Structure formats: structure tokens, C-alpha cells
Structure 1
Amino acid sequence: MDQATRTDRNRAGAFEVTHRLVLSIAIPMTLGFLTTPLLGLTDTAVAGRLGSADALAGLAVGAVLFDLILGSFNFLRASTTGLVAQSFGRGDRAEEYAVLWRSLAIAIACGLVIALAAPLLLAAGLALMSPPASVGAVTSEYFSIRILAAPMALSNYALLGFVLGRGQGVTGLFLQAIINGVNIVLSILLGLGLGWGVAGIAWGTVAGEAAGTIFGLCLVVMRARGASRPSFAHVFALERLKALFSLNRDIMIRTFVLLAAFTLMTRIGTSFGPVALAANAVLMNIFLVAGYYLDGLANAAEQLVGRAFGAAWRPAFDRAVKLTFLWSIGLGALTTLLFLVFGETVIGWLTTTQSVRDEAAIYLPWAALTATTGALAFQMDGVFIGATWSSAMRNMMLAAFAGYLAALAIFVPLLGNHGLWLSLNVFLALRGLFLASRVRVLAARVFS
């Protein structure tokens, strides 16, 4: 038996979940996620210095289109994490890499289809957003370049899912830092230094995704030395591919419903006038801030729950659920308290328009509450992804969305924008509670 095989078998089976183990995954990933808004600020600053409002608006429209297109494929990251974590818990190193190669094959295939369909996607996006002709021209330039990175961007989802499934939070941080760091540096250099404008920002994104893919693949290949290499037949076994597609389908449906919920909130918000709409946009940043570290804790839940499943070790599962719950609820409540105390100061940083500041202050308590009502939902998403309970997660999301629609129908006519924010909190709370209600029954089936 070689050293790699002995190591894999030693790590399989029972293991202890500690606060330190949870935070060793959550903290690096939170730091990695925080590089994303920094990238957005940099791109906005570069476009803002080009001396053209059309450049800034065109970049904004293009960024929204890519959020919709590429964000819909985040299931590649989630499914890879859950399946790799379970293989990790079993000590099945060959299957860990088989999961990665399957996910990479799907990522590259989907990325190539997206790139080839670029003209159709661009036309549909411009029709959806309806920007002025001058803004549309900038968006077209940006989109036509950045779309080249689609295969690499989706590959990076799979690579990040792989390292997270193995509990390598620091490696995940490095991957995020390389992708966004190269992007930031080259966007400034090409966009402003060489005068390429919005095209330079787009090429910076392509280079960042390429750097992340190259670094990630090199890392995977180096760490795979000595491991049992899965055969082609193993990687592309029909039964395993069907299971992966089924998992990805369920997570994708869940993602679409989540996007629909936030899109619906924005759409309804427009009926309250531009000041209320702007105030809501400012306040959503509070939810996004909380989302960065709640996502980090969800990543910890994914890995630890998946590993416990692979190891068939119920104590580790129970402990992972308990500790990630405590950290999520505790940090969510702390965030709510901090924004209730300092929220108006934060609003002042985000907008200088006094009417928007005053309006946002009215609805601040509702926005602050989302950090608490959403904490359980984030944590449970991590538990269900790690356990690969994708169909239950999909069904509970649909049930929560139905509750959200009912809340909107009841509270918005009665309370206006207050009702809109109340409905969002109801939706977040229902997601977490519905998922949590299924954990005991589903776990009993697995660990029996």
C-alpha cells in the first residue's frame, strides 16, 4: 500500500468537528468573497475616470448581464463541493478527482456553448435592459470580449468546489485572490494606463479568469501525485453522470427561484418611486455584507457535513450542524445590532443624496433584520449541499417562495415599502425554517 493510499484511509471514518475547524474554512472563504466587491469598485472607478457617462452605464449593464448568465451556473461549485467532501470522508481519493474531472468537463462544455451563443445572448440582454444606443454600444464591446472567459470562469467554479470539498479554505482564498487580483491590476493598467477603456476592463477579467484556471489546474495536478487516478470509464460512467446532472438541476432551480425573489423585490420597489427604489438599493448592501461571512460559514457546513456523510459518522454531522448554526445565528444577530446602531452612518457613506438618506433610515430596521432572518437559510443551504439533499432543498425553496408571494400579496398593499421589506424577511426565515424541519428525518434515513 503506497503512502497516499494510507493517508486517505487514515483520514476516513470518525473525526472531530471543532470551532477551530469550522473557522479554518469559513474565515479564508469570507476573505476571498470580500475581494469580489473590491473588484466591482475598481472596475467602476476605472470606467468613471474615462470621462464618459456612457462608459460607466455600459459597464454596469454588461456586469448585470454576466451576473445573470454566469451566476446561473454556480451550481457547478456547490455540487462539486458536496460530492468531493463525501469522497473525502470515505477516503476515496480517486473519486474526489473523478468528481472534479466530471465537473470540469461540464463547465468547459457549458462555457463553450455560452461563448458560441454570445451574439444571441447579447441581443437578448440588450432587449431586456433596453439601454440607449450609445450605452448599448459600450455594453456590446465589453460583452464581446468578456464572454471569451466563460469556459474558464465556469472551470474556476469547479476548481473552487474541489478545494472547498477537501476543506482547503486557504487554497480557496488564494484562488479567489489570484482571479480578482489579476483582474484588478490589469483593469487599471489596460483600462487607464494603456487607454483601452472599457475593453481594457474586459480583457482584465479574461486574464484574471485564465490565471485562476491555470493556477488551479497546476495545483490540482501537483497534489494528485501518488493518488489513484480514476479511469476514463470511471469518470464518465453513465450512472455517476446522471447523478451529477440531477444534483446540478435541483441546485440550478433553487438558484433561479432565489434570483426571481430578489428581482421581484426590485420590480415591486419601482412602484414606490425613484427615492424609495434608491433607498432600497442602498439598504440591500446590508444584506450583501452579511452574506459574505454567512456564505463562508455555509462553505464550512458543506465540507464538514459532506465529510461526515462520506465517513458515515453521525456525531460529526450533528456537531457540524450545531457549530455552524451557532456561528451563523450569533454573527447574524451581531450584524443586526451593529446596523441598528451604526446603520445611518453607513447609509451616509453609501449616498450623499439627503432624500435617499432619509428614506433609507425609515426602512433601516427591516434591512438590519435580514442578517438574522437569513442566517439559518445560509447555514441550512450549506448543510443540504454537503449532504447532497438537492431535491429537498429545491422543494423547500419553492415552498418558501410560495410563502413569499403570499406575504407580498398581503403586506405590500397594507404597508407599502414596509410590507415589501417584511415580506423579504418572511421569505428568508421560511427558507431556513423549512430546510431545518427536514434535517432530522433526512439524517435518520442516511445514518440508520
Structure 2
Amino acid sequence: MTRPTYPFDVRSRDVWAIALPASVAFITEPLAGLVDITVIGRQGDAAVLGGVVVGALVFDFIFSMAYFLRTGTAGLTAQAIGARDPRDGLLHAARAIGIGIIAAALMIALQVPLLALANLAMAPTPGVAEALKQYFEVRIWAAPFSLINYALLGWFYGRAQAKTGMMLQMLIHGIDIPLSILFVMSFGWGPHGAALATVIGQAAACLLGLVFLVRHFGGFRKIMALIVPDELFHGHALQRMFGLSRDLMIRSIALMGAYAYFAAQGSRLGEVPLAANAILLNFLMISGFFLDGIAQAAEQLCGKAVGANWRPAFDRAYTLAFRWGTLIAVGLALVWFAGGWYLIDFMTTSEPVREYARMFLWVAALSSLTGMPAFVFDGILVGVTLNTVMRNGMVLALALFLAAAVVLQGAFGNTGLWISIHLFFLCRAGFYWWALERKKAGLFSS
């Protein structure tokens, strides 16, 4: 049976209508991390700073295993919108929320072995390990709120409601940031306080997001009437959801595995290199979240094009995403080269950490340029749900990164470790381009 076609145009303003609010929202995520690191870092204790840094990375890794709730839901919802689904992708959101609740319950139940694994993997010094424990035992309670938020944000962004997604993400960090300053700098609660602020911010956004979802469909009774159990648990739909979830989970684990290895190698160099690399890694994360705004636009528009079965819209969205992504990447690199020293000095009062971070600022600043193609391709592939391509590309890039890191770090120390991160980005982008060129035609029916 021939798929129907629903033509539509894609313009630069369509890209920016999604990318701009998404970028504003995404930038609050590393900003919250910057504030946590800064309020802890300004206490002058490198061990406590290292513990919070490692703790944040551990949760990035744990939650990354469920990040498919956001990316997968966004891609499926965008395709549903393009195909004129009368329920606006509601069933995709409902499935994702259910999976998120189950996954969060498992995380909380397994918190003791998860912390033990974190200590084994990161090999922290005793001072760092104690701070990590304090942070972990509070932050784990954000799990149900964080995972439901992933599902909700995926649904909002998949429907091109970027302003709503922006508002929810800004609410998370608009609560997290001032509470972190209050709890740490005024109350002296240290890692406990930084973690508690995050839990409260995630909970507030989760409750508001659920209210928005229910209101969109006219109330709780109406939304429940639209969720037909036979359709919610339909075999093919569940198989597609779990297949997508599996591949995106593997992809996320591989991605966070690269970052975890990077942090672990810094930890093994000592407290000062760990803290300095963590500060510079935030530069990379900030670049990524700016570029993720463009990737989010590419995800929604390319996914909508596949759902609408309209190749011209896909090609136009693809071209515009890379055009604007290149301009943003160049601008970010110039900002880091020109102003990176000032940000380093603001984030920590430790002079040894400052000096060490300045030595490697140049190589960290290049990350926006080398990372841009990979970030944009991530958005495109999520939108068209080519999950196996994402999985295979990320695993291949991780293998190359680990091999390169062993060789280059041994030869050039911390500089070699940073060069390996750049190779990780470029390998992903190259594989994604090659695979997508082979599969483009099959995404659309004549």
C-alpha cells in the first residue's frame, strides 16, 4: 500500500523557531552544572569538588541509559505529527512515561551496588569518594522525576512545542541554581545540598509537565479515554519502541562510557587534573547544548518529513541544519579562545587548578568545531529513527577513542587524552554520513 504524502516547506525560520528556545533551554543544563562546580569549587577543597564532579558524571551515565525516553519519544512523535496522527503521538508519550517509572524504581532499589560500581570504575581518592557518597545518596531520588521529564520533553519537542520544553527545562534549573547556592554557600550542606537542589528542581518540572500534557487533551478523563490498552500494548508498537530503546540505550552507554573514561583517566592523574579537566569538559558540554538546539530542529523537521513522506522537506532541513550548525560552532570556538581564561578563574579559586586548566584550554576550545557534525547527525538520525545506525556508529567511535586514548595519552599525556575526544567526534560523524547516504532513499515511498 502506498503511503500518503503531506507536503510542507522548511525555512530557516522554521529551524530557528525550534533551535532558539531549545538552545536556551539546553544551555541551562550545563549552567546548573557550572553553578554546582563553582559553589563547591569556591570552598577551596579540591577533593570535595572532585567528588561532586564525579557524582554528576555518574548520574549523567546512569540517566543516559534512559535518555532514549526523550530522544526516542521525540522521533516517534515527530513522525506521528507528520503523518497527521489525531492523538498527537499520545501513545508514544504514555509508553515512555510507563517505562521511565519502572526504570526509576529499579535505580532506587539498586542504589547501593550502583554506588559501589561507581567507586570501582572511577577509582577516586578517599576524600573524593566521601564527597561522591554524600552527593549520590541524595541525587538518586531525582530518578523518577528526571525520567518522566525525559518522556515529557521528548513529546513536547517532537510536536515542535520548543517553547514549552524550554520553559520546563528553565524551571528545573531556575529552581536548582538558587537552591544550590543557598544550600551550599549559606547553609553549608556541601554535596548533600547541591544534590537536593537538583531533586527539587526535577520534581517541580515533572509535576508541571504532567499538568500541561493532561490539559492539552482536555483533562484526565479525556486523556485516559484516548489511551486504549489494546493499542498501548500493541505488539508491533511495543516491539518498535523496545528496539528503538535498546539501540539508543547502547548508544547512550557508549557515549557516556567515553566521557567516563576521560574523567577516570583525569582522576588517576590526581585531584588537580581531575578538577581542571572537569572545568574544561563543561566548555565542551556548553558547546554541545548550543549545537543540540540545531540538532533538535533537525530531529523534529526530518522526523516530520519522514512521517509526511516528503523528501524535499527532509533535504532542506538537512542542509539548513548543517549550515547554521557550522556558523554556531565557529562562534563558540572564538568565544572559548577569547574568554576561556576568565571563566576558568571564575569557576575555581584554586590556583593549581586554574594553571592546569589554562594549559589545555586551546585543545578543549576546538571541541565545538569537531563535535558539530556528530551533534547534527544525532538529531537527524533520531528524527528518522535510524537507531541501528546511531548504535553502530557510537560503538565504533568508542572503540576508536579507547584505542587512541591508550596510545596518545601514553605519548602526550593529558593533551593526548583531549585529542582522542576529538577523534571520537569525527569518527561518529564520518560513519553517520556514510550510513545515512545509503539509507536516505528507503525512508520515503514513491
Q: TM-score, normalised by structure 1?
A: 0.86
Match for residue 168 of structure 1 among 144, 152, 161: 161
Residue 24 of structure 1, CA deviation: 1.3
Which residue of 2 is the match for residue 445 of structure 1? Answer: 442
Equivalent residues of 2:298, 2:317 under 8 A apart: yes
Provide the C-alpha distance between the structure 2 equivalents of 1:94 and 1:108, rounded to a whole number of angstroms: 22
Provide the C-alpha distance between the structure 1 equivalents of 2:44 and 2:418, rounded to a whole number of angstroms: 37
- The farther-off stretch of 400-409 and 204-213 is 400-409
3-state secondary structure, aligned to 1:94: coil
Equivalent residues of 1:14, 1:313 under 8 A apart: yes
- The farther-off stretch of 356-365 and 380-389 is 356-365
Residue 304 of structure 2 corresponds to residue 307 of structure 1: yes
Match for residue 143 of structure 2 among 140, 147, 150: 150
Partner deviation per Cα, 1:343-391 (whole Å, 9 max, x = no partner): 4454444556666555555544332222111100000000000010000
Provide the C-alpha distance between the structure 1 equivalents of 2:46 and 2:399, rounded to a whole number of angstroms: 40
Equivalent residues of 1:184, 1:204 under 8 A apart: yes
Which residue of 2 is the match for residue 395 of structure 1? Answer: 392
Within-5 A mapping of 1:246-265: 246-265=243-262
3-state secondary structure, aligned to 1:108: helix
3-state secondary structure, aligned to 1:65: helix
Residue 285 of structure 2 corresponds to residue 288 of structure 1: yes
Larger Rg: 1
Residue 293 of structure 1, CA deviation: 0.6
Provide the C-alpha distance between the structure 1 equivalents of 2:226 and 2:8, rounded to a whole number of angstroms: 26
Residues 282 and 246 (structure 1 numbering): CA distance in 2 closer, same or farther, change over 3 Å? same
Greater RCO structure (CA 8 Å; 6+ sep): 2
Residue 186 of structure 1, CA deviation: 4.3
Residues 254 and 197 (structure 1 numbering): CA distance in 2 closer, same or farther, change over 3 Å? closer
Provide the C-alpha distance between the structure 1 equivalents of 2:119 and 2:399, rounded to a whole number of angstroms: 30
Partner deviation per Cα, 1:405-429 (whole Å, 9 max, x = no partner): 4434554455444433333222211
Residue 27 of structure 2 corresponds to residue 34 of structure 1: yes
Which residue of 2 is the match for residue 9 of structure 1? Answer: none
**C-alpha RMSD over aligned residues:** 3.2
Residue 77 of structure 1, CA deviation: 0.7
Residues 19 and 212 (structure 1 numbering): CA distance in 2 closer, same or farther, change over 3 Å? same
Provide the C-alpha distance between the structure 2 equivalents of 1:281 and 1:198, rounded to a whole number of angstroms: 16
Q: TM-score, normalised by structure 2?
A: 0.86
Residue 187 of structure 1, CA deviation: 4.4
Provide the C-alpha distance between the structure 2 equivalents of 1:133 and 1:331, rounded to a whole number of angstroms: 41
Provide the C-alpha distance between the structure 2 equivalents of 1:19 and 1:317, rounded to a whole number of angstroms: 13
3-state secondary structure, aligned to 1:93: coil
- The farther-off stretch of 131-140 and 275-284 is 131-140
Equivalent residues of 1:300, 1:324 under 8 A apart: yes
One-letter amino acid of the counterpart of residue 212, structure 1: A
One-letter amino acid of the counterpart of residue 148, structure 1: W
Residue 417 of structure 2 corresponds to residue 424 of structure 1: no
Identity %: 40
Residue 214 of structure 2 corresponds to residue 214 of structure 1: no
Which residue of 2 is the match for residue 368 of structure 1? Answer: 365
Residue 33 of structure 1, CA deviation: 1.9
Provide the C-alpha distance between the structure 1 equivalents of 2:415 and 2:189, rounded to a whole number of angstroms: 45
Which residue of 2 is the match for residue 101 of structure 1? Answer: 94
Residues 83 and 330 (structure 1 numbering): CA distance in 2 closer, same or farther, change over 3 Å? same
Residue 397 of structure 1, CA deviation: 1.8
Provide the C-alpha distance between the structure 2 equivalents of 1:280 and 1:57, rounded to a whole number of angstroms: 10
Equivalent residues of 1:22, 1:297 under 8 A apart: yes
Residue 79 of structure 2 corresponds to residue 86 of structure 1: yes
Provide the C-alpha distance between the structure 2 equivalents of 1:343 and 1:54, rounded to a whole number of angstroms: 23
Q: What residue ranges of structure 2 are gaps of 5+ in the alignment?
A: none
- The farther-off stretch of 169-178 and 360-369 is 360-369
Partner deviation per Cα, 1:50-69 (whole Å, 9 max, x = no partner): 99988766555543432222
Provide the C-alpha distance between the structure 2 equivalents of 1:202 and 1:410, rounded to a whole number of angstroms: 36
One-letter amino acid of the counterpart of residue 390, structure 1: N
Match for residue 243 of structure 1 among 240, 245, 256: 240
Residues 190 and 399 (structure 1 numbering): CA distance in 2 closer, same or farther, change over 3 Å? closer
Within-5 A mapping of 1:107-126: 107-126=100-119
Q: What residue ranges of structure 1 are gaps of 5+ in the alignment?
A: 1-11
Match for residue 183 of structure 1 among 167, 170, 176: 176
Provide the C-alpha distance between the structure 1 equivalents of 2:50 and 2:399, rounded to a whole number of angstroms: 35
Residue 402 of structure 1, CA deviation: 3.3
Which residue of 1 is the match for residue 69 of structure 2? Answer: 76
- The farther-off stretch of 228-237 and 308-317 is 228-237
3-state secondary structure, aligned to 2:87: helix
Residue 122 of structure 1, CA deviation: 3.2
Residue 174 of structure 1, CA deviation: 0.8
Equivalent residues of 1:94, 1:230 under 8 A apart: no
Equivalent residues of 1:146, 1:203 under 8 A apart: yes
- The farther-off stretch of 351-360 and 243-252 is 351-360
Provide the C-alpha distance between the structure 2 equivalents of 1:279 and 1:120, rounded to a whole number of angstroms: 29
Which residue of 2 is the match for residue 22 of structure 1? Answer: 15
